[in-house]
């Protein structure tokens, strides 16, 4: 489809594949970008910053869903209230917890064969993988999927 000129002579851009792709990437990033608890903190001005003192999660904490949070602007009432109230906010209160995602069972946490790295996977967006090295400030995530969410997730759990 070509761009067209509207009556005032202003060019109007039509919806293209690049727009659909950008929306899909933004949606996936919103739903599955994950960070471990404590990797980011809120400063006194309530700005989210990297925690330079972060040293990783213990073995027990790295295997628990409650240790991982969505890396996005807070949406849950608890996290929003934590950022709006005066005083400092705890690192676990500034993001939305992935363990609260619906339906329950959307995420899994396992260890690799050497038990040194926790692996977090999304069942809603198959192809998302997050890792956290136990006891180290090494973590990251990547998505290698087809861009389609698993809409039948509730029936498979």
- For residue 86, how far is the Cα from the chain centroid? 26
Extended strands (E) in the chain? 4-5, 11-12, 34-36, 40-42, 48-50, 68-70, 107-111, 117-122, 128-133, 139-143
For residue range 6-65, what is the model confidence (pLDDT) as tens digits?
667 677 778 888 999 999 999 999 999 999 999 998 888 888 899 999 999 999 999 999
Higher pLDDT pick, 107 / 3: 107
Please tell me the distance from the alpha carbon of residue 75 to that of residue 94, in angstroms, as a whole number. Answer: 10
Are 118 and 134 in contact, with CB atoms under 8 Å apart? yes
Task: Note if the pTM is more than 0.75.
Answer: yes
């Amino acid at each position: 489809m070509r761009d067209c000129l509207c009556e005032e002579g202003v060019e109007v851009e039509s919806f293209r594949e690049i727009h659909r792709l950008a929306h899909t990437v933004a949606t996936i990033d919103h739903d599955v970008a994950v960070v471990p608890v404590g990797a980011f903190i809120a400063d006194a001005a309530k700005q989210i910053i990297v925690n330079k003192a972060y040293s990783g999660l213990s073995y027990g904490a790295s295997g628990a869903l409650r240790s991982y949070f969505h890396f996005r602007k807070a949406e849950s009432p608890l996290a929003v209230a934590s950022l709006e109230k005066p005083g400092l906010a705890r690192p676990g209160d500034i993001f939305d917890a992935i363990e609260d995602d619906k339906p329950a069972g959307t995420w899994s946490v396992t260890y690799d064969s050497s038990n040194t790295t926790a692996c977090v996977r999304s069942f809603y967006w198959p192809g998302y993988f997050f890792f956290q090295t136990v006891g180290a400030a090494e973590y990251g995530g990547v998505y290698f999927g087809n861009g389609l969410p698993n809409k039948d997730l509730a029936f498979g759990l």
